[in-house]
């Protein structure tokens, strides 16, 4: 793997499978009474969050602590950033503190890329603007692989010792529905799922699709009902109204009627199909409560799997390279 994880495009097929297989091995730790490994003892991981986030920040913090790393949580609110300090000055401060890895979430697309130019440690993108969120895509792929029985960890090899390679997602049909325009999760998922062999379809109103979506490695549709019977996975996205500065659809009620997943629509899915959502959910808008809480929903699994996948990323970026030398 590269020294940083800024985009899902940074991952080759082998890199992605290595992360997923390592996560498979690390997921077994959650079943132990003591959920810790000494792998990153003495390393420092900084969570640098310029945007509010509960799920992602806690997930990275839990992942780092389970690997015995020291964790520093940095929030822009109440910090020198609120007084006008630039991202570069903040980066130099972290560099002086000896940060081995910086997990950054920022409202400006490209911020992790700039940060990587200023620090010697590894940079992990935890979401930048409407650009990317690569670890979310990895945990989504991990969840899909487990649900469809394509995991390949042997259960006998320690992390880094070359676990048996699991299957990719070749031939699976994944439909991503909703606010594609403002979604960093959608872009990262399209790139990673394509790399892993899945067929990706985006379904949204024309106003909620990016201008350059034709260049993405996926197909585009506008009719959710036509897509459902042919989908193995349906990923519902939240309407990010906080990022909207115009009227992208007539009303939330109209959007929900056309693009919301309720029980009637879920009945159109093939028997083995699953429903995903990266969270947080707007229940009753893009997804009905009954669907979100159904056995076919993976929402809770995605949160649990996020810790294992982020452990794998931290391990491979900070510990795996040294172990292999």
Catalytic annotation, residues: 55-56, 83, 105, 133
Do the bridges between strand 44-49 and strand 101-106 make them parallel or antiparallel, or are there none, so unpaired? parallel
299: part of which helix (H) or strand (E)?
Answer: helix 299-314
Of 81, 53, 58, the residue nearest 307 (C-alpha)? 58
Q: In the block, which residue shows the tokens 């020198």? A: 80
Report the C-alpha gap between 125 and 135 in whole angstroms. Answer: 8
Do residues 237 and 280 lie in contact, with contact meaning Cβ atoms separated by under 8 Å? no
Kind plus residue range of the DSSP H or E element containing 48: strand 44-49
* Residue 14, burial from CB neighbour count under 10 angstroms (0-12, 13-18, 19+): exposed
Instruction: Find tokens 């979506």 and name the residue.
Output: 213
In this structure, what are the phi and psi dihedrals at residue 219, rounded to the nearest 5 degrees? -110, 165
Give the separation between CA 202 and CA 212, rounded to whole angstroms: 13
- Contacts of the segment 264-270: beta carbons below 8 A, 24+ positions apart: 265/224, 265/225, 265/228, 266/291, 266/294, 266/296, 268/225, 268/228, 268/229, 269/228, 269/229, 269/231, 269/234, 269/296, 270/229, 270/231, 270/232
How would you class 16 by CB atoms within 10 Å of its CB: exposed for 0-12, middle for 13-18, buried for 19 or more?
Answer: buried
């Amino acid at each position: 793997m590269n020294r940083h994880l800024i985009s899902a495009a940074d991952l080759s097929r082998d890199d992605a499978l290595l992360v997923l297989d390592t996560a498979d091995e690390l997921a077994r730790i959650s079943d132990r009474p003591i959920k810790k490994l000494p792998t990153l003892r003495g390393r420092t991981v900084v969570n640098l969050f310029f945007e509010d986030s509960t799920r992602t920040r806690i997930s990275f913090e839990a992942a780092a602590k389970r690997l015995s790393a020291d964790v520093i949580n940095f929030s822009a609110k109440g910090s020198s950033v609120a007084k006008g300090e630039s991202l570069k000055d903040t980066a130099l401060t972290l560099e002086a503190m000896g940060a081995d890895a910086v997990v950054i979430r920022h409202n400006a697309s490209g911020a992790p890329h700039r940060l990587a130019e200023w620090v010697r440690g590894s940079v992990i993108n935890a979401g930048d603007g409407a650009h990317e969120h690569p670890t979310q895509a990895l945990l989504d792929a991990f969840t899909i692989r487990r649900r469809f029985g394509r995991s390949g960890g042997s259960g006998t090899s320690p992390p880094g010792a070359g676990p048996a390679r699991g299957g990719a997602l070749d031939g699976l049909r994944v439909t991503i529905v909703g606010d594609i325009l403002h979604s960093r999760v959608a872009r990262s998922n399209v790139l990673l799922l394509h790399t892993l062999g899945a067929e990706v379809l985006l379904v949204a109103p024309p106003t909620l699709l990016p201008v350059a979506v034709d260049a993405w490695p996926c197909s585009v549709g506008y009719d959710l009902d036509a897509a459902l019977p042919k989908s193995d996975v349906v990923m519902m996205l939240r309407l990010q109204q906080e990022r909207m500065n115009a009227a992208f659809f007539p009303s939330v009620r109209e959007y929900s009627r056309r693009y919301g997943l309720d029980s009637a629509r879920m009945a159109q899915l093939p028997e083995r199909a699953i429903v995903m959502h990266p969270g947080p959910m707007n229940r009753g808008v893009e997804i009905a409560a009954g669907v979100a809480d159904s056995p076919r929903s993976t929402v809770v699994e995605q949160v649990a799997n996020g810790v294992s996948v982020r452990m794998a990323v931290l391990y491979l970026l900070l510990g795996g390279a040294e172990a292999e030398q």
